[in-house]
Amino acid sequence: MSARRLPDAARWASWVVLVVVVGAALGIGASRGGAPPSAAQRAQSVDAQVRCPSCEDISVADSSASTALAIRQLVVARVRAGQSDQQIDAFLVSRYGPGILLRPPDTGVTAWVWILPPVAVAAAVVGLAAALWRRRRMSVPAASVADRALVDRALAERAAAARVGTDDTPAPRRDTGAVVAP
């Protein structure tokens, strides 16, 4: 029993389907979390995303400054009051300004920071694939009759030179019609 070989298009299609299925499975698996986080875990998560107002580029969770301690207590109180993470962030932004968040928002103009890199990578991959596909499809031009005659003549001259001797003097050439000055 011999194995039947699929055409190139069917093989590519099967690979594309495989990549899509694996990608979808990984996306679904990554999006499903476990149990909902506890109040302490939520507070810690918010604290890790808030910049300490009196420190430079340190989160409230990592700072020991008095302002960081006050913000951590404020976050814990608001989590216990039932506010969402977005509501807590909005309160902190209203009180301290947008610079309080370590991660810029993913809406408005700052959305381009999150959108452009994946788009650029996808465009580069598509461009590279198209260039490789075009290069693979390029046909090699066939040699003309004159080109073949030129190659045959050069091979014949080389063979004649090899028969004449092993010295480095070239074999005599045919007259090309050019006039040589004495």
The pLDDT value recorded for residue 3 is 56
CA 153 to CA 171: how far, in whole Å? 12
Residue 162: both structure tokens together: 């090899």
Question: Which residue bears the tokens 């698996």?
Answer: 29
CA atoms within 13 A on the CB side of 100: 19
Q: Which helix (H) or strand (E) holds 70?
A: helix 66-80
The pLDDT value recorded for residue 167 is 54
Question: Which residue bears the tokens 């969770």?
Answer: 61
pLDDT, tens digit, for every residue of 80-121? 999 888 899 999 989 988 888 888 767 777 778 888 999 999
Q: Residues in the chain with pLDDT < 50?
A: 1-2, 182
CA 3 to CA 47: how far, in whole Å? 60
The pLDDT value recorded for residue 162 is 85
